[in-house]
Structure 1
Amino acid sequence: MRTLAIALLAAVALAACRGKPPPSDAITDGNPQRGLDAIQRHGCGACHRIDGVPGAYGTVGPTLQQIGERAYIAGKLPNSPENLQQWIRFPQRVVPGNAMPDLDVNESDARDIAAYLYHQ
């Protein structure tokens, strides 16, 4: 068990050094498959290009490809699972007047969407 824990910590540290996040479900406590469902339910693909999401070819908002490798979310928040979830839930509170509407995304869906986005 101790060896497994050390190996997991080493993998997380190595990923952090490369600028890549650890496994999405580990950092968000979400489920990428449920995130895909939530992305489709909330219509995120109408505005964003999102790999793996059927019909998600929107060009109104930025592409969400490789979001885990970006330094900032919405040009304002340091990229972290908590900040991504905050942005998904409350974009108008984070950057008032921006083009992304509040879509009434609940906490669970935000966790799952973040897991999906970091997973791709």
Structure 2
Amino acid sequence: MSLAYGKGRNAMLPPIVNRILLVKNLPFKITPEEMYDLFGKYGGIRQMRIGTDQNTKGTAFVVYEDIYDAKEACDHLQGFNVMGRYLVVLYFQSNHRSKKPDLPKEEERVEQLRRQFQSMGNDEEYEFH
């Protein structure tokens, strides 16, 4: 894959690559200093957020100054063993929904749109292909 995108800083990167990494499966006892030591090897870090709540423990966001540094960190730290745990390092996707849709609410919204469309005076049935 490195041949497809080149090794230089001017190489084209896939669209999924960005400066923000989502790190999962972190040891609960990892310190911020240990995180900076581990992720700072790959470049300047703008911000780091380590989960502290019950539902966010073991996760972190790492924001790099440079997108190429983030790519290198993701490539090298994916599956890296830290304190007996293998890291899962992903590019953060802001449009990714972590919550499941509320199906009854969505069904009601579809029904409202159906009623609205029918009230527009279109009595004919439409088939969508």
User: Of Structure 1 and Structure 2, which has the larger fraction of its residues in strand?
Assistant: 2
Q: TM-score, normalised by structure 2?
A: 0.26
